[in-house]
Amino acid sequence: MNKKNLKLNFNSNQQESYISLNANAKLYAKHPDSYKFDLLAAKKYIEEEINPKFKFFASFKERINFLVSQKYYDPEVISQYSFTELEKLNEKAWSYNHFFPSFMGAFKFYSTYGLKSNDNLTYFEHFPDRVLLNSLFLGKGNFKNAEKILEQIMLGRFQPATPTFLNAGKLKRGEFVSCYLIRVEDNMESISRAITTSLQLSKRGGGVSVLLTNLREQGAPIKDIQNQATGVIPVMKILEDSFSYANQLGQRQGAGAVYLNVHHPDILAFLDTKRENADEKIRIKSLSLGVLIPNITFELAKNNEKMALFSVYDVEKVYKKAFSDISITEKYYEMLENPNIKKTFILARKLFKIIAELHFESGYPYILFEDTVNKENAHPDRVVMSNLCSEITQPSTPSTFLADLSFKKTGQDICCNLGSINIDKAMESGVNFEEMVYYAVLSLDIVSRNSDLSVAPSIEKGNKLNHAIGLGAMNLHGFFAKNEINYDSAEALDFTNIFFYCLAFASFKASQKLAQIYGPFAGFEKTKFATGEYFDKYIKTDPNTFLPKTTTIKELFAKYNVFIPTQKDWIELVKQIRKTGIANSHLMAVAPTGSISYLTSCTPSLQPVVAPVEVRKEGKLGRIYVPSYKLSHKTYNFYQKGAYELGPIPIINIVAEAQKHVDQAISMTLFMTDKATTRDLNLAYIYAFKKGCKSIYYVRIRQDVLENSENYETCQSCVI
């Protein structure tokens, strides 16, 4: 095997440990060359920690035969290719001379992704080996596709989500899907089935989000006997214990979230479970909370009015459908005047104040702007929830069950097939931009068609009918810094708008091409894609709307030679889409990319970095220092104003520009200093709502005692 070591030509104490060398990176502000010690730390880590425990083989053939015979690699994945093809792909993977540009990238790969022996004492994979297995799996026996996918990953243009990258080609593995969404109906069978399904999915390494909006409130009748229902809290406790118990062979902790509409009568008790001083009987420690806020709630708060919390039990009796399937904004005053629907009241502003208080305490809850999401929804069914990272917005339909919990009628639930484009590398792809996006979309489509979801029949059905994917992006701040663009500038907004405009066009074009192979997703003819209405923003607007507005961005797209579609291009594409359909019901969703951005040594998602050199706490290693993407004397100043200094407004502005072109949502974290007040947070919610953002993920409050480290644990099942 041709394993090359990186040669670093600068002086350092060769006796220093890789931890000490990495720590030198924190001195960057005083010593601009100190980031180079991080490269040396990565090199020493591999030489001293990995290579002595790595099993080397005399030949590639010996290696593959060993890993298949010892039941590490899946023989079905390997056998799709001739040995000559396998050798060519392996040679190609190693030809890129990959080396981790940061210690954190190397540590993340070998601690999380690289294949190890069953006793965890021996390493079997370097980065090109893992990429090879991903390309074999995602290529599905097609050598050309495998070669192209391998190229995109090795060049850093596209990175599959953690579940795919971790599990592809392995015999003992979890599933390839990032997370799952399950809606629950107001009966014991649906609740029980959701809990058992959550256990099964968590066992396989997926994060699970559960909708609780439809459960009758505490004190509601059961079988006409008053004050019998115990509400949503007991279900939350059971789910929390379930996720704590089930994990994927100890590799990824089980993680779950629950969503509740703010007009549910249990909303205050729901939020109180995250209070620091909550009673242990109700306190929720590890389960994530999310709320759905309709437009009417903002309107009531604006007017300083009371908001009604409607009896879920009564609403379902009156309307003959679940609470989540009703637009609260549309039916609010009608339900308010209906004497058959019980209601209690709280001040709308008090609700927002409580949410802000909890954000200061815990970072929760996630927020989904219900009507914004459904206004942009191209499908006839309603979006009623999101996932653990608040970027998935797909419709779901109810299931019904028999007494033994078997399905009487199988509805459609949701899974997230995720991966991300590295924005800087994507721009560098130039004339190959559309080809890169095609193979990224193809990869995610393959995941949707080759995941075993039989333990969750409603999710399996939704996946088979829709083949929904979520192509995201990362390294936006890294691209800005490299090109000397301030995150909070007009040029940054201009670039974000045009880049995601190009990405949307290429994604729809790729899915239309796949539809020629697989046919359109089920129900395509009932969507706004089929009528063309979804694309009106591109074909019925001023042709200059989606051209760069600043000289800098015009010059950048010209420099990189990335094609910007014209209105005529959209008109032709929409014509083809209406004729053949698209293969995927949903195409884009921007996830947080916490894990894979560290793996690929780039900045996360669309967020600004916290500091030029971030501090992370990683188990026994303690503090790890992570220099920003391509940190240098030139780029340092463009990282120095970090997320907390920038505050929420520039982040919201950036996300709003991208959101114009993303059919699902964008996982958006807001950063506040310790001087922020609940009023400041409320103003940020309102601003995000007015700008057309679809969701808010975490709110992070800077605490100096933690330096620049993360304040809250992020869901590792879903950050991809």
Per-residue pLDDT tens for 527-538?
999 999 999 999
Report the pLDDT value the prediction gives residue 704, as an integer from 0 to 100: 55
Euclidean distance between CA atoms 591 and 393, whole angstroms: 12
Euclidean distance between CA atoms 208 and 680, whole angstroms: 31
In a domain? residue 599:
no
645 class by beta-carbon count within 10 Å (0-12 exposed, 13-18 middle, 19+ buried): middle
In a domain? residue 401:
yes
Decide which of 352, 373, 405 is a domain's last residue: 405
3-state SS class at 449: helix
Contact 454, 526 (CB under 8 A): no
542 class by beta-carbon count within 10 Å (0-12 exposed, 13-18 middle, 19+ buried): exposed
Decide which of 405, 439, 458 is a domain's last residue: 405
* Cis amide bond preceding 627, omega within 30: no
Residue range 76-92: average pLDDT? Answer: 98
Confidence band of 280 (pLDDT split at 50, 70, 90): confident
Report the pLDDT value the prediction gives residue 15, as an integer from 0 to 100: 59
Q: Give me 713's structure tokens.
A: 């644990």
Tell me which of 34-43, 236-245, 307-316 is least confident: 34-43
- Number of independent structural domains in the chain: 2
In a domain? residue 282:
yes
Confidence band of 203 (pLDDT split at 50, 70, 90): confident
Euclidean distance between CA atoms 66 and 183, whole angstroms: 44
What is the per-residue DSSP string for 2-34? --PPPP--S---TTS-HHHHHHGGGGTTT-TTT
In a domain? residue 523:
no
Q: What is the DSSP letter of 522?
A: T
Contact 334, 385 (CB under 8 A): no
| End-to-end alpha carbon distance in the chain | 30
CATH number for 243: 3.20.70.20
In a domain? residue 141:
no
Confidence band of 291 (pLDDT split at 50, 70, 90): very high
Nearest to 575 by CA among 620, 512, 519: 512
Where in 646-693 does DSSP place strands (E)?
670-672
- Decide which of 15 and 460 is more confident: 460
In a domain? residue 269:
yes
Euclidean distance between CA atoms 240 and 280, whole angstroms: 13
Write down the H helix ranges in 246-311. Answer: 267-272, 295-302
Residue range 593-603: average pLDDT? Answer: 93
In a domain? residue 208:
yes
pLDDT single digits (tens) 542-557: 988 899 999 999 999 9
- Evaluate if residue 437 carries a pLDDT over 80: yes
Residue range 249-264: average pLDDT? Answer: 81
3-state SS class at 696: strand
Q: Containing H/E element for 358? A: helix 348-362
Euclidean distance between CA atoms 639 and 480, whole angstroms: 9
Alpha-carbon distances of 534 from 70, 537, 540, rounded to whole Å: 51, 7, 11
Euclidean distance between CA atoms 247 and 586, whole angstroms: 28
Euclidean distance between CA atoms 452 and 440, whole angstroms: 21
Domain that holds residue 343: 179-405
Q: Give me 93's structure tokens.
A: 């993977």
Count of H helices and E strands in the chain? 31, 18
Report the pLDDT value the prediction gives residue 85, as an integer from 0 to 100: 98
- Evaluate if residue 298 carries a pLDDT over 90: yes
Residue range 212-232: average pLDDT? Answer: 92
Decide which of 357, 384, 405 is a domain's last residue: 405
Alpha-carbon distances of 381 from 180, 292, 537, rounded to whole Å: 18, 17, 22
Average confidence score pLDDT of the chain = 92
Strand partners, 519: none
Q: Give me 387's structure tokens.
A: 């996932």
Tell me which of 147-156, 166-175, 500-509, 515-524 is least confident: 166-175
CA-based radius of gyration for the chain: 25
Q: State what percent of residues in the chain have pLDDT above 70.
A: 93
In a domain? residue 88:
no
* Residues involved in catalysis: 387, 389, 391
Alpha-carbon distances of 563 from 249, 322, 505, 506, 646, rounded to whole Å: 45, 46, 10, 10, 31
Residue with tokens 């916290």: 610
pLDDT single digits (tens) 476-485: 999 999 999 9
